[in-house]
Copies of this chain bind each other. A is one copy, B any other.
Amino acid sequence: MARKKLYLAGPDVFLADARAVGERKRALCWEFGFEGLFPLDNDEDVGGNAPRIFRDNCALMQQADIGLFNLTPFRGPSADVGTVFELGFLFAQGKPVYGYTAAPQRYRERVARSGRVVEQNGPRDRDGYAIEDFDLIDNLMIVRAIEDAGGVIAAVENAGDGTDGDPLAAFRAFTACLGLMRRRILLPEAASPRTN
């Protein structure tokens, strides 16, 4: 049976060593029984060509069986918007979606930490927008989409060495999520009547 293809979404594409990160993530996918599809926004062939990058990413998502999303906060209290666009895209196609993050705190804690909270019928930011308080790690559309599609979010605390955006924590969360996905998606098949 062909391996299930995972679309590997995340701000990883913006890293200086994006290609190496992608190769490492694809190797980990293979180890866990999947095939990883890693978009390369900054590939030499397409560098600087926004329409081409967009079309290539959409084509790669069309090929995928499952979405796996790096939800680690990016330039603010929430996940990268490019990643979240892709989450909406794959969810709308009815594909299973999973997430991982190196920031297990609740969303409201991250917004509060930015120091912009006033009380007015519940917590609001300085612009008067209510701060979502559903005890979730990010905006409810993100978390509920993953749960509704039968997926899970793996959260791994970063090492606490003072480094924001610790790439190793994101790798640990990624690996933890692959382990969960293997047990939920692949092992039930291995545990069919014939092998019991």
* Cβ-defined contact, B15 with A129, below 8 A: yes
Copies of chain A in the complex: 2
Query: Which chain A residues numbered 72 to 128 have a C-beta less than 8 Å away from chain B?
Result: 74-82, 84-93, 111, 114, 120-121, 124-128
Which of the 9-residue segments A29-37, A136-144, A184-192 touches chain B? A136-144
Chain B residues whose CB sits within 8 angstroms of the CB of A164 once the complex forms: 126-127
* Cβ-defined contact, B84 with A16, below 8 A: no
Interface: A11 (CB within 8 A): yes
Q: Which residues of A contact B (CB under 8 A)?
A: 11, 14-16, 41-42, 48, 50-51, 53-55, 57, 74-82, 84-93, 111, 114, 120-121, 124-132, 134, 136, 138-145, 147-148, 164-165
